[in-house]
Structure 1
Amino acid sequence: MSKLQGRFGPEYWDKYGVYKTPLGFNLTLIVLLRPFLIWLMSALTWRPDLDIMSLFFPSKDNFFIAIGIGSIALLPALVFSMRRPTSTPRWGDIWGYMRWPLLIAALLDLAWLLMQAANGHYQFSFYLASQIVLVSWVLLYLINSRYLTCFFSDWPEPEAK
C-alpha cells in the first residue's frame, strides 16, 4: 500500500490495492504513440488510393522524427505493462519516474508539431491542428493531474507465496 492512498478513496483502488489506471493515462499513451498507430493502420490498409501516412507525415523525415519522439513514450508503456503483483519490485522503483519521459515526449512532440506549422507558413492543416490540440491537452493533463501523482507513486505489493 502506498503512503498516498489516503488521498483518494477505495473506489479508486483495484483488486490488488493499488490505484486503478486512469483513462487519461491510456489516452495519453495513444496520443503520444500515434506515429506507431498511424504506421500500423497504414500497413493494414495497403490501398494505394488511401495514403494515411501522407496525411499526417508529408515526408519520410517527418515520420522518422515522429517515431523517434514517440519512442520516448514506449518506456512508460513497457513499465506499465509490468505493473502487476507478480513483477519484481525493481520495476516499481522505475515506475515512480515514468511521468518524466511522458512529459518530455509531449513537449518534444508539441515543439515538433509547431515547427511543422511554422515551416508550412502557418497554413491551416486539419491533421496538424488536431494533433497540436491533442498534444496540448496531454501536456496539460500530465502537468495538472493530482491523480497521476498518486498513480505513478503506487506499485502492487509482491504476492505472498
Structure 2
Amino acid sequence: MKSIEFHPDDYDSQGRLRLPLLFWGVLLLQARTWVLFIIAGASRDQGNTLLNLFYPDRDNFWLGLIPGIPAMAAFLLSGRRQHYPRLWHSLGWLLIIAQLVLLCWQPALWYVGEPVSGVGIALVIADIVALFWLLTWPRLRAIFALPHE
C-alpha cells in the first residue's frame, strides 16, 4: 500500500490528524433527528409544533433517532478518540452503515406513501454525497485507522 502524506496543518499539537470541518457536517446530517429533538426541547412552547412539522408520524421520529446514535457517539468521543482506539475505529464503520440506512430511509418513506418534497430530495442528495465522502476520503480513513496500522 502506498504511503499517504498529509499537510502539516492537518495535524494537531499532539500529532493526531484533525477532524475536518466537513466531518462535523456529516455528523450533523446523520444526527438530524437528534438535532431536531434538541431544538424542540429547547423551544418549549413550539417544540410540539416543530416535531409535527417534520415528523407528522411520531413512529418515524422515534425510528429516526436510531441511525443518529453513531453520530452522537462520534460527537461525544471525538475529543478522547486516542483513549479508545478500537471503539473509534469501529465507529468509523458504524457511521458508514448509518449513512447507508439514512440513504435508504427517505426513498422507503416515499415508497409507503409519504409525499415527495424538495427537502426530502435535498436530504437524499446530501446523504449520497456524505456516503461517497465517508467511503473515499483518505484522510478520514486515516483518522479512523487503528494506531498500529
Normalised by the length of structure 1, the TM-score is 0.78
**Aligned partners of 2:34, 2:132: CA distance in 1, in Å?**
22
Would you say the 8 A contact 1:76–1:98 is kept in 2?
yes
Closer, same or farther in 2 for the Cα pair 1:48/1:149, shift >3 Å? closer
In terms of Rg, which structure is larger? 1
Runs of at least 4 residues off by over 4 Å = none
Alignment correspondent of 2:87: 94
Give per-residue Cα distances to partners, 1:89-108, cap 9 Å, x unaligned.
xx023222321100111111
**Aligned partners of 2:99, 2:53: CA distance in 1, in Å?**
21
Would you say the 8 A contact 2:39–2:47 is kept in 1?
no
Residue number among 14, 28, 31 corresponding to 1:30 in the alignment: 28
Q: 1:35 Cα deviation (Å)?
A: 0.5
Could you say what the CA RMSD is over the residues aligned between the two structures, in angstroms? 2.3
Q: 1:154 Cα deviation (Å)?
A: 6.5
**Aligned partners of 1:15, 1:51: CA distance in 2, in Å?**
45
State the identity %.
23
Unmatched 5+ residue regions in structure 1?
156-161
Alignment correspondent of 1:66: 64
Q: Secondary structure at the match of 1:16?
A: coil
Count of residue pairs brought into register by the alignment: 145
**Aligned partners of 1:124, 1:66: CA distance in 2, in Å?**
18
1:76 to 2:74 alignment: yes
Amino acid at match of 1:120: G
Q: 1:50 Cα deviation (Å)?
A: 7.9
Q: Which has the higher helix share?
A: 2
Unmatched 5+ residue regions in structure 2?
none
Amino acid at match of 2:75: A
